[in-house]
Amino acid sequence: MSRVLVVGAGATGGFFGAHLVRAERDVTFLVRPARAATLRSEGLRLSTARGETVLAARSVTAAELDGAYDIVLLSVKADALPAALDDISPAVNESTIIVPFLNGLDHIEAIEDRFPGRLLGGVVKVAAQLTADGVIAVSGATASMEIGELSGEVSERARRAADVLNVEGYDFSLSNSIRTALLHKWVFISAVSVICCTATGTIGDVVSVPGGAEFAAAVLEEAAAISRAAGYPLPAAHHEWLRAFVTQAGSPFAPSLYRDLLDGRHTEVEAVLASFSSAASGFGVGTPLLNLAVMRLRLHNRRIAALS
């Protein structure tokens, strides 16, 4: 049986790792000592509209890694990536497949430089967050995972990974266009982050005030223009779906960058928004709304750093 190492047991890693555990895959979570202690004493707790599930989850710290794994799922934030790559080094050999679930694209070069030839592209979507008491609270009705070779080839190793990762509990697809999926998720994450962090509210909060829906639509148009300039235009139907999503009255949705902003935590502004802004500049695309959000979140991060 293929050995799977899930790096991180927060909202994303915990959610998808829990479903792999349920499907009786050979799963181990690589976590920090405090999280390992919680998992060992309380189990992996998943809360959905149907109630709470507690799963026995095997966990290790970096010092306890016990050899190579067949698949490594990287579900850490961008700032934690360098340390995570150091941590997983003993778990990676010539046949290990690494599938990252990070936002943006900057992580691809970093992983390829460290572990050449080991990488598959990965895109996951789930509405969940890790609560203060260690529960993965799932608010969305659906979730998905998409993996694939960055070259677009449907390779044998991608099929092997798909056989392991395709389990009940979320939609799964093996893609021949994972770069497109990565860019389009970047459009989504960037747009909702700019909307919510600039206006300081959920999507529903923003569109409830005069001019809010127009502001949200303008932010989306900036993000879509970057993707189009990069050679990955949004299909018309997907563009319309996104416009409806970011202008939906009463929507409680807010991205993780907004939650980090509200909770006084360091945000992923550089990997998600600043990198997107830099790409836009390279393509000659003007993004004043995106740039405003970058400035605001950089100031927020500076204040947080000054307090630590």
For the chain, 308 residues long, give each residue's pLDDT as a single digit of tens. Answer: 899 999 999 999 999 999 999 999 999 999 999 999 999 999 999 998 888 999 999 999 999 998 999 999 999 999 999 999 999 999 999 999 999 999 999 999 999 999 999 999 999 999 898 998 889 999 888 999 999 999 999 999 999 999 999 999 999 999 999 999 999 999 999 999 999 999 999 999 999 999 999 999 999 999 999 999 999 999 999 999 999 999 999 999 999 999 999 999 999 999 999 999 999 999 999 999 999 999 999 999 999 999 97
CA 276 – CA 187 distance, rounded (Å) = 9
> Where do we find the tokens 């947080």?
304
CA 5 – CA 43 distance, rounded (Å) = 17
Q: Residue 100: its pLDDT value, please?
A: 97
Distance of CA 47 to CAs 40, 50, 52, 222, Å? 18, 8, 4, 36
3-state class of 196 per DSSP? helix
CA 12 – CA 191 distance, rounded (Å) = 20
**CB–CB of 122/175 below 8 Å?**
no
CA angle 177, 179, 180 (to 5 degrees): 70
What does the block give as tokens for 218? 């303008």
**CB–CB of 187/223 below 8 Å?**
yes
**CB–CB of 32/1 below 8 Å?**
no
Residue 63: CB partners within 8 Å, gap ≥ 6? none
Q: What is the per-residue pLDDT across 239-279, written as a single tens digit (0 to 9) for each?
A: 999 999 999 999 999 999 999 999 999 999 999 999 999 99
β partners of residue 238 = none
CA 239 – CA 68 distance, rounded (Å) = 42
Give the relative orientation of helices 106-114 and 81-88 as an angle to the nearest 10 degrees.
30
Q: Residue 1: its pLDDT value, please?
A: 82
Residue 256: CB partners within 8 Å, gap ≥ 6? 11, 129, 268
CA 43 – CA 278 distance, rounded (Å) = 42
> Where do we find the tokens 């390829």?
112
Q: Residue 50: its pLDDT value, please?
A: 86
Q: Residue 140: its pLDDT value, please?
A: 82
